[in-house]
Structure formats: structure tokens, C-alpha cells
Structure 1
Amino acid sequence: MSIAQYQSIAEDWERRATIRTRPRRLLENDDKLIYPLCRQPLVLSAAFLEHCPQYRDFVLAQSFYKFLNDVVIFETEIVDRTARSIAKNRFSLPFPLACRYDAMTVVVDEDYHALVALDFLQQTIALTGIQPLDLPGQIELSHALPAAQAQVPAHLHDAMELIGVAIAENTVTQEVAAFSKDDSIKASIRGLMADHLFDEGRHAQFWTRLVRLYWQTAPSDDRDYIAQALPTFLAHYLTNDLQKNFDLLLIENLDLSASSRRALSDEVTALAFPITHQHPLLANVLGFLQHSGLLQTPSVAQALSAYLPMPGRSA
């Protein structure tokens, strides 16, 4: 895709961006859940159901707080930084004005998403009376980006950042879609996720087009450097270590006997999400790499061969 073929998201943003079209959503005081059970396996574990089912709502509220905090970190500390750098022409990869304008719409959207997340954080505390525990200061992407950048020459740090953010933006879209369709949670929270999804689908297209523009003109040596760094990025991005640490913190804050706490901790520690071709988010990552043109590059396909579906191997 040449720049002449670049399709701007500006018109779609003017017509449909949630910051322009959505009213404030208010949390309902009903019997629906704050957070989906399926997204917090701890409350479905045999040990939890045996020892402390009465703490279900506390754990779900804390899990929702972590989710909202992760959104704020993702949007304001990572995506905003990259998009703002592109918009202000401070990125080492030069992009035309149309791309930079689109990048600024992403900045506006992401900061608004963070604002809405903080609003829901306040509303949930007021409704439940449950105060948040100490929330993590970083997310998986906070580790994945610098780890991958350390694997490439300095002149490719921005390119690696662009690709890492694009992977994340394409992955989060699928996660939010699943969240928005869960009928067990409060309607306002489903609406929050649907609003977020409305914007993130546009963002995913934007980042994919930007990466495709870059990749078409990237020298073969630079492509190969980035290819070799992608497994490092995925190892840090797809890990569940931060979630596991948060769940262990949750358990420490439950009023339980030492033996019950140990049984719960054993359940959390045993939950494993190995980063193989069967990882639940990998299909989204590979879909992005296919659409952006990276996966058609031999060095990328070779570097990610362990994650690619093969004949006779189930997806």
C-alpha cells in the first residue's frame, strides 16, 4: 500500500467517535455482576468455592479495578505516547500529514477512554463501598516493548514500538468484544465495553495500515532484526505472570485460615497459559501480522514458526 492508497479514519472518527456521540454511562444498582466470572478463574476454582464463596463480589470488584487501571496505563502511558509522537512528527519514522492527523484522533480517543475508566472506578467504589487494593503500576506491554527494543539496533526502537503497539491494539479489540457481549454483567459496563470497541476497531485499522506502510519500505536487514525480536515481545506480552501476582495479592487480603489461603494460592499457581500456538490471544496476533504484511516476510515466519499452525496440529 502506497501513501496514495492510505485510507484515513478521519471521516469515520468525525461521525462515530464515542467522545462525540455517547452520553455518560451510570452504574446500575442491580443484581448483575461487576466483572465476568469467566475472566477471573479464581472465583470458579474448587478451592474458592469450598473455602470462601462469600468473597466472590469482593474479588470481582478488585478484578474490575485492575482492568480499569490497566486501561488507563495502556491508553495514557503507551498508546497515547506513540500516537502523540507520530501526530507531532517526533517519531523517527516519517508519516504524511493524513497519518499524523489520524494519530491525533487516536490520542483524543485513548485519553477519553482513560477518563471513562476513572469515572467507572469512582462509580464502582461509591456503589460497592469496596476500596481498591494497591493496583499494578505496569501492564504486560510495559515490559514487552523495552524487552523487544533491547533486541534491535537503536534506529529501530521506534519501529519496534509501532509494531508492538499495533499488535496490542489489535489484540485488545478482540478482548473488549468478548467483554461487551457478556449478559451476566451490568448493562452500563457492557455499554462501556461496546463504546470502547466502537473506537478500538477503528484504531486497529489505523495501526495496521501504518505498520503496512512502514513495512513496505523497510530495508530487508531491518525487517530481519525486527523478526528476531518478535518472539521476545510475545513472551513478555502474552505471559499471565502479572495477573497471577495480582491474584496472589487478592488472596492475601481475604480473611482466611492459613490452610485455606494456601489452597487458593496453589490453585492460582497451577493455572498455566503456556505461550504456544494454542494460546487464546495468539490467533489475534497472527491475524494482525498477516494483514499488515509481516507474516509474508520469510524471516518473520521463521522466527514465529513455533506459533504457526501446522498440518496435523490443532489450532
Structure 2
Amino acid sequence: MNALDYQSFADTWEERATIRTRPRRMLEDDDKLIYPLSRQPLVHSQSFLDHCPHLRDFVLVQSLYKFINDVVIFETELVDKTARNIAKNRFAIAFPFACRYDAMTVVVDEDYHALVAMDFMQQTIAMSGIDPIELPREIELSRAIPAALQRAPEHLRDAVELICVAIAENTVTNDVAAFAKDDTVKPSIKGLMADHLQDEGRHSGFWSRLVRIYWHGASDADRTEIARVLPVFIAQYLTNDIQKGFDLRLIEQLPVAAPIKQALREEAAALAYPINRHHPLIANILRFFRSSSMLDSACVQDALADYLP
């Protein structure tokens, strides 16, 4: 795919973007969960089930706060930055106006997603009476992108940033889709995720197409240099250090005896997925590499050999 083949989704955005079409979602006061049990393994640990199952809702509320916090960081500090630079033609890769227009719709969408997420945090605090514990100031992507850029030649740093953001946007789309289908959570939360998915499906295709355009015109030497840093990005992106730190802070806030906290810490430490081809996010990442045509290149196949089936 080259730049001349790019077709804008401006009309689709006008007709379907959540900022154009969705009313405010209001949190229900019902018996449904505020956050999926499947997304917080701590509540399934044996020590938690034995000693503090009555604290489940507190843990789930705090987990929702972290999820919202992660969304705000992801949308406003990372995706917004790259999309805005593309939209304003301040990117090392020159894209046609249609791409830049669509990039600006991504900026609008992502900032709106952050606003809606913050609204849900305010609603949850008001309804539950539970204030957030200390939330992380960064997400895995906040570390993974700089780690990759540091190892890339200066003239390729915008290209690497584009690819990293595209990987993340494609990964989060599938993650949000799973969340949106969970019937155990409150309808407003499911609706929030479905709204987000409505936009993210469009975004993931947008980023994949931009990478296809770039990759189509990149030299073999540049492709090889970029392939070399991909494992660095993936290894950082798939760590759970920030989640583990949050879980440990959460355990500290639980009103239980010190020996129980220690048992919970030990069980939480064992929750990480190994960073290899069996990690649950790898399938989504590889799907992006195929859709963007990057995996057609031998240098990318070699770089990702440890993750390929």
C-alpha cells in the first residue's frame, strides 16, 4: 500500500464516532461487578479467598481506577502525541493530507476517551465512597517506547514511534473487545468499553495502514535497523512490573493481619506471564505485524523468531 492508495474515513467518523453519537454513560447502583474478576487475579488467590473475600469489591474498584488511569495516560500522553504530530505535519514521515486529517480525528477521539474515563472515576468515587490509592504515573508503554527509541538511529525514531504506537493500538483494541463482552460487569461499564471499541477498531486499522505505507517505501537497511529494536520494545511492553507494584500497594491497604498480607504478596509475585510466544498478548501483536505487512520481511521474521509459533 502506498500513500496514494490511502482512503480517508472522515465520513465514517462523522457518522459513528462516539463523541458524535453517544450520550453520557451513567454508573448503575446494582449488583453487577464494577470490574471483571478475570482481570484481577489477586481476588482468585488462595490466601485472598481464605482470609478476605469480603474485600473483593474494594479490590475491584481500585482495579477499575487503575484501568481508567492507564487509559488516560495511554490516550493523552502517548497516542495523542504521535497522532497530533502527524496531523500537524511535524513528523519525520510525510503523510498526505487525508492521513493527517484522520490523525486529528484520532486526537479528538482519544482525548474524549480520557474525558469519559475520568467521568467514570468521579461517578465511581461518588457512588462507592472509595477513594483511589496511589495510582501509577506511567504505563508499560511509557517505558517501552523510550527504550526502543534509544536504540534506534536518530533518523528512524519517528518511524519506530509510529510502529510502537500502532502495536499498542492494535493490542488494546482486542483487550477492550474482551472487556466489552463480559456480562458480569455493570451495563454502563460494558457500554463504556463498547463505545471505546467502536472508535478503537477504526484506530487500529488507521495505524496499521500508516505503517503499511511507511514500510512499503522504507529501504532494506532501514527495515533491518527497525527490526533490530522490535524485541526491545516487546520485552518492555509485556512486563508486569507496574501492575505488580500497584498490586503490592493495594495489598498494603487491605485491613488484614501482616501474615496474610505477606502470603498475598507472595502469591501476587507469581502472577506474571512469561514473556515468550505463550504470552496472551503475543497473538494480537503478531496479528498487527501481519496486517501491516511487516511480517513479510525476513528481517522482522528473524527478529521475532522467539515469538513466532
- How would you bin the TM-score normalised by the shorter chain? over 0.9
Matched AA of 1:126: A
Matched AA of 2:288: F
SS at match of 1:25: coil
1:270 aligns with 2:270: yes
Q: How does 1:143-292 map to 2 (within 5 A)?
A: 143-292=143-292
Partner of 1:308: 308
SS at match of 2:299: helix
Partner of 1:87: 87
Partner of 1:8: 8
Matched AA of 1:162: L
SS at match of 1:185: coil
Matched AA of 1:284: N
Partner of 2:46: 46
Matched AA of 1:23: P
Matched AA of 2:301: A
Cα distance in 2 between the residues matched to 1:258 and 1:90:
53
Cα distance, 1:272 vs. partner?
Answer: 2.4
Cα distance in 1 between the residues matched to 2:52 and 2:249:
15
Matched AA of 1:3: A
* Alpha-carbon displacement from aligned partner over 1:87-113 (angstroms, at most 9, x marks no partner): 000011111100000000000000000
Partner of 2:78: 78
Structure 2: 5+ residue stretches without partners: none
Partner of 1:66: 66
* Alpha-carbon displacement from aligned partner over 1:259-301 (angstroms, at most 9, x marks no partner): 1000000000011201111110100000000110111111110
CA contact (8 A) 2:68 2:121 kept: yes
Cα distance in 1 between the residues matched to 2:284 and 2:152:
24
Cα distance in 2 between the residues matched to 1:275 and 1:302:
17
Q: If the length of structure 1 is used for normalisation, what is the TM-score?
A: 0.97
Cα distance, 1:4 vs. partner?
Answer: 2.3
CA contact (8 A) 2:180 2:194 kept: yes
Matched AA of 1:15: E
Cα distance in 1 between the residues matched to 2:197 and 2:272:
28
* Alpha-carbon displacement from aligned partner over 1:50-82 (angstroms, at most 9, x marks no partner): 111111011000000000000000000000000
Cα distance in 1 between the residues matched to 2:75 and 2:48:
33
Cα distance in 2 between the residues matched to 1:266 and 1:83:
41
SS at match of 2:135: coil
Cα distance in 2 between the residues matched to 1:7 and 1:124:
40
Partner of 1:312: none
Q: How does 1:121-140 map to 2 (within 5 A)?
A: 121-140=121-140
CA contact (8 A) 2:109 2:199 kept: yes
Matched AA of 1:6: Y
Cα distance in 1 between the residues matched to 2:31 and 2:42:
21
Partner of 1:32: 32
Cα distance, 1:240 vs. partner?
Answer: 1.3
Structure 1: 5+ residue stretches without partners: 310-315
Partner of 1:298: 298
Cα distance, 1:242 vs. partner?
Answer: 1.0
Stretch of structure 1 that moved more, 7-16 or 130-139: 7-16
SS at match of 1:271: coil
Matched AA of 2:153: P
Matched AA of 2:21: T
SS at match of 2:296: coil
SS at match of 1:95: coil
Cα distance, 1:226 vs. partner?
Answer: 0.7
Stretch of structure 1 that moved more, 101-110 or 218-227: 218-227
Q: How does 1:83-122 map to 2 (within 5 A)?
A: 83-122=83-122
The percentage of aligned residue pairs carrying the same residue is 66
Matched AA of 2:214: Y
Cα distance in 2 between the residues matched to 1:71 and 1:254:
25
Cα distance in 2 between the residues matched to 1:203 and 1:272:
29
CA contact (8 A) 2:2 2:212 kept: no
Cα distance in 2 between the residues matched to 1:285 and 1:270:
24
* Alpha-carbon displacement from aligned partner over 1:167-217 (angstroms, at most 9, x marks no partner): 000000000000001111000000000000000000000000000000011
